[in-house]
Amino acid sequence: MLKLLNYFLNGLLYILRSPYTVFVYVLRFAYATLIFTGGEVISFFSYLGGKKYKNEDPLSIKLQQYLDQQTSSFQNQPQMSNNLGYAAMMQQVIHNPVQPSNNSAVPPGQPYPQQATPIQQINVTPVHLDEPQSRGDKS
Amino acid sequence: MIPYLIQLSESDKKKIAIIAIILATLIVLIGVIGESLKKKAESEGKFIDSYMFQLCKYGLIKDTDQFIAYVKNKETRTLYFETKWKFRLILFTIAFFFIYFYNFKNMDFSVAQQAIDGLSLGLVWPTGNFFGLNIVSSWPIITKQPSPMLNVDGYVVYGSLLTLILLTIFILNHIFIYYARLKRAKVVVRSVFAPNLDNTTFVR
């Protein structure tokens, strides 16, 4: 009932304000007509200039470029940063797995050469547990 | 006033009650429509949040003036792109109307006037003297029934009129949305760049 009364009072207010509202909307329509005229003039000159007038603004393009740049720099980062969190680090590893170097001296199709220095044989002397160990005894 | 109401017959009192109920219903309906328009304005205004959030987040817009100027610029451009074909159609319709009357009627617009008059209803309201005022005293007498002109001239006039009215309503809808978004920008900008001390402490 209270809501109905509220609607009734609002309705009365709207009726009383209707001449003002109509006047305001007539002015707004005139303003929209001016906007249309201005837009048509800009479209015409853009067309003469060989471009199409589009609904885009430099700031949102700048933002899009900035976001794209952020994404690409994040994906192409060669080294892992310790400042990143674990999840971001893992994302880097997934997106940039360790690739074999293309700057290898071995031409493609050739067998990989033998290592120049052979691995040294380490002679390990066996330790006899039966013999008594003398620690720090210099005699 | 009260002795006059007492003098009224029962059927007259019923008529007055019915008229009062119809009037009250109409006023309530206008109130409901107004409230729903308010809600529509609020929901349409929230559209600016979708593109302003990131611009403010990444510091491309730094103060209130820049915020309002950007919203106005963007919404004006959107208004042009949304309404350009509607305005062009209005121009085409007006041009078609004038070309038709120039070619076939030798710029004689009396046919158009007759066609529009054909839609009207002729009513004569009987009046009576009430406390020295000449006011409506009974139901109206219908003197003319609507008789639309059903020939090519009539179709051209009615078609043009209907197209113009519909296109104007569509354009007014876009104008309404445009001003709703500007209003939202003016309201929301106060809190976007205002320092907020809620949930903040400087105690060391």
Residue type, A63: L
The band of A137, judged by pLDDT with boundaries at 50, 70 and 90, is very low
Query: How high is the ipTM of this complex?
Result: 0.80
How far away is chain A from the Cα of B10, in angstroms, using its nearest Cα? Answer: 28
Closest Cβ opposite residue B24 in set A8, A39, A62: A8
Phi, psi of B69 (to 5 degrees): -65, -40
Query: Least CA distance to B56: which residue of chain A?
Result: A63
Contacts of B35 in chain A (CB under 8 A): 7, 10
Maximal CA-CA distance, chain A: 122
Contacts of A5 in chain B (CB under 8 A): none
Give the span between the Cα atoms of B52 and B61, in whole angstroms.
9
Contacting residues for B79 by C-beta, under 8 A, at least 6 apart:
A32, A35, B174, B175, B178
| The overall pTM is greater than 0.90 | no
> Would you call A32 and B83 a contact, using CB atoms and an 8 Å cutoff?
yes
How far away is chain A from the Cα of B64, in angstroms, using its nearest Cα? Answer: 16
Element (H, E) at B127: strand B127-130
B54 touches chain A (CB under 8 A): yes
Is residue A96's pLDDT more than 70? no
For chain A, what is the HEC assignment? CHHHHHHHHHHHHHHHHHHHHHHHHHHHHHHHHHHHHHHHHHHHHHHHCCCCCCCCCHHHHHHHHHHHHHHHHHHCCCCCCCCCCHHHHHHHHHHCCCCCCCCCCCCCCCCCCCCCCCCCCCCCCCCCCCCCCCCCCCC
Closest CA to B149 of B118, B121, B122, B105: B118
Helix (H, G, I), strand (E, B) or coil at B129: strand
Sign, CA torsion B190/B193/B199/B200:
negative
Closest Cβ opposite residue A39 in set B24, B74, B84: B84
- So what's the pLDDT on residue B135? 78
Contacts of B174 in chain A (CB under 8 A): 32
A35 touches chain B (CB under 8 A): yes
Q: Mind listing the pLDDT tens digit for each residue in A26-71?
A: 999 999 999 999 999 999 999 998 888 888 888 888 888 888 887 8
Q: Which residue has the higher pLDDT, A129 or B173?
A: B173
